[in-house]
Structure 1
Amino acid sequence: MNTVDRKGLWMTVMAFVVWGVVPLYWHLLKQVPSFQIIAHRIVWSSILLLGWLFLRHGRQWLRTIREQPRALTLLGVTSLLIAFNWGLYIWAVNAGHVVETSLGYFINPLINVVLGVLVLRERLTRLQWVGVGFAFAGVAWLTWQAGSPPWIALGLALSFGAYGLLRKVVSVEAVGGLGVESLYLFLPALAFVVWGEQGHGGGFIQGWGWQIDLLLILGGVVSAIPLIGFSYGVRRIPLTIVGLLQYIAPSIQFLIGVFVFKEAFGTAQAIGFATIWTGLIIFAGDNLWRSRKRSVVTGVAAVAEPVVATRR
């Protein structure tokens, strides 16, 4: 643990914990239409994030990205993906599907793996393929039991997986890229908020009460702070640790769905989730073992190098 940046580690843990408990926050806004919540979330998080970027970097962060036309185009696509992901998530939470949202973020890492294999031509070990197979079997079981695929979980996993894939191939700094996405989304979201206030489901300032208005504004903080913390931490700790920490959020969401919101979770769901969790354990375990093996080899090579040098 001495080699891990402790501040980066705790910032990353903080981000995943906030993402885990955030269903409780959005549930407080249940009386507000979901599209209004997502519009306000985009508006207030954009103001906070863009303000932070301009105060810290001036216009330089934007000039750097504007010099890459391809990056601007791809960030336009990722802005739509993240807006869809946020909107589906908030709607699902307030419609009583917190457990299924947790399933989406449990299988998201494996969706990332599949996309990496299909698009980036990455290779998996046999044991990792076994883990993917277990996860696929779990989703198939839940589909068979429910009579239809878990569309919410798949929608969240696929949209966030595609978002991660595109952000991986865009060579821009994480928070700066998020700032450009905010620029794309800000005006449409603001226009929707203004339209809503013209008698189309809005109630900001005059309709929902100051408590709800304050929660909507602070929703920008709830959205932006963990993203900034994650961006800070992920650059300072090994990706293998990030890969293990990412299960904090869906685990907390799952517990909240079952024990706080009392959502149905019977034997059939338990079998499906257990199968998926088995796949995740196999995949994460193999990844962690190989990472430690590489660290040992690297350490041995570092020790051996001075010996070889002295013999020369």
Structure 2
Amino acid sequence: MKKGLIYAILAYIAWGLLPVYWKLFGSMLPGEILAHRVIWSFVFMTILLLAGKGQWKAFTQLLTVPRTLLVVATSSLLISANWLIFIWAVNNGHVIETSIGYYITPLFNIMLAVLFLREKPTGAQWVAVGLAAIGVAIATIDYGHFPWVSVSLAASFGLYSLVKKRVAYGASIGLAGETAVVLPLALIYVGYLYATHQATVGTLPAYKLILLLLAGAATAMPLLWFAKAAVRLPLSMLGFIQYIGPSITLLLSVFVFKEKFSPALLASFAFIWSALVVYALASIRTARAAAVQR
């Protein structure tokens, strides 16, 4: 459990600090950043799989099963959309909205479980969803427009998690497969940018270019840490730790990126945080009841 706790904290700290990383490439187009993230993630995962015993064989077998390949392709498109929205939001001054998005993701998962898995949430979980909905409504009024960044991030990652429940392959093989599916699109897009003289990667100073090449490691390592944590920690504990990420992002948005944090937005977060407390307590109660039954 101690190792699992360390892995989980590392994963969520890394995810929380990612806005600082992507801000370094603010001069690039979001699509160009995404394309390089896909390319270098695939390169990094290929190296890891080749170094692991039997991993590359399992990866190639994954891509030969039509049903599994369809699932991988679906999850690939969802996580790519999530990455693109996140990168665009960070580099266009919407970091607070990304924080809201990842705060409400667990509550969005409840709705997906009801719609697609026919699960029956407890009354407390419905209260949590209602409080979060009020928080999003307040944010909508404060922004003057629907917070599509927040909802899109929660929806894309929630659907990604739902699709991942349909498969039984490991995190390394899964990420390699997901990047492999969109790799041709990424290469075509980078080629198009060079052909039309729109590519900006060549204008980056040397240190930023090196950091861009490390985008694969920055993408893969938190996912692999999370996978190691998930098999070592109770779900209720992991649920609490996951809020480290959006909390760090929120602090960065206010104190580092100087985004506007109005009283109305504070009220919005108050409802969202209240929803998370209710959700966490309900999850703990459910976990304890299940343990007693076992």
Report the TM-score when normalising by structure 1: 0.89
- In 1, Cα distance between equivalents of 2:222 and 2:163: 20
Alignment pair present for 1:89 and 2:113: no
CA displacement at 1:6 relative to structure 2: 1.7
- In 2, Cα distance between equivalents of 1:22 and 1:62: 27
Q: Which of residues 221, 244, 253 in structure 1 aligns to 2:217?
A: 221
Q: Which of residues 112, 124, 133 in structure 2 aligns to 1:115?
A: 112
- In 2, Cα distance between equivalents of 1:97 and 1:145: 14
Does the CA-based 8 Å contact 2:135-2:271 persist in structure 1? yes
* Corresponding residue number in structure 1 for 2:230: 234
Stretch moving more, 82-91 or 145-154: 145-154
Asked which structure has the greater CA Rg, the reply is 1
CA displacement at 1:14 relative to structure 2: 0.5
Does the CA-based 8 Å contact 2:17-2:248 persist in structure 1? yes
CA displacement, residues 231-276 of structure 1 (integer Å, 9 cap, x when unaligned) = 2221222222221111110010000001111100111111111111
* Corresponding residue number in structure 2 for 1:262: 258
CA displacement at 1:218 relative to structure 2: 1.5
Q: Which amino acid aligns with 2:252?
A: I
Q: Which of residues 245, 249, 256 in structure 2 aligns to 1:253?
A: 249
Q: Which amino acid aligns with 2:21?
A: Y
Does the CA-based 8 Å contact 2:5-2:229 persist in structure 1? yes
Does the CA-based 8 Å contact 2:129-2:275 persist in structure 1? yes
Alignment pair present for 1:154 and 2:151: yes
**What residue ranges of structure 1 are gaps of 5+ in the alignment?**
299-312
Q: Which amino acid aligns with 2:72?
A: L
Q: Which amino acid aligns with 1:92?
A: A
- In 2, Cα distance between equivalents of 1:59 and 1:93: 34
Q: Which amino acid aligns with 2:90?
A: V
Stretch moving more, 122-131 or 186-195: 186-195
SS in 1 for 2:203: coil
SS in 2 for 1:14: helix
CA displacement at 1:297 relative to structure 2: 5.5
Q: Which amino acid aligns with 1:105?
A: Y
Q: Which of residues 120, 133, 143 in structure 1 aligns to 2:130?
A: 133
CA displacement at 1:195 relative to structure 2: 2.4
CA displacement at 1:287 relative to structure 2: 0.8
How many matched pairs? 293
* Corresponding residue number in structure 2 for 1:50: 46
Aligned CA distance change for structure 1 residues 141 and 226 (closer, same or farther; 3 Å): same
Does the CA-based 8 Å contact 1:29-1:215 persist in structure 2? no
Q: Which amino acid aligns with 2:277?
A: I
Q: Which of residues 268, 278, 284 in structure 2 aligns to 1:288?
A: 284
SS in 2 for 1:121: coil
Does the CA-based 8 Å contact 1:45-1:220 persist in structure 2? yes
* Corresponding residue number in structure 1 for 2:272: 276
Alignment pair present for 1:183 and 2:172: no
CA displacement, residues 84-129 of structure 1 (integer Å, 9 cap, x when unaligned) = 1001101100101111100000001111111001110111111111
Q: Which amino acid aligns with 1:271?
A: A
* Corresponding residue number in structure 2 for 1:165: 162
Aligned identity (percent) is 39
- In 1, Cα distance between equivalents of 2:188 and 2:110: 37
- In 2, Cα distance between equivalents of 1:160 and 1:26: 19
**What residue ranges of structure 2 are gaps of 5+ in the alignment?**
none
- In 2, Cα distance between equivalents of 1:210 and 1:279: 45
SS in 2 for 1:169: coil
- In 2, Cα distance between equivalents of 1:106 and 1:72: 30
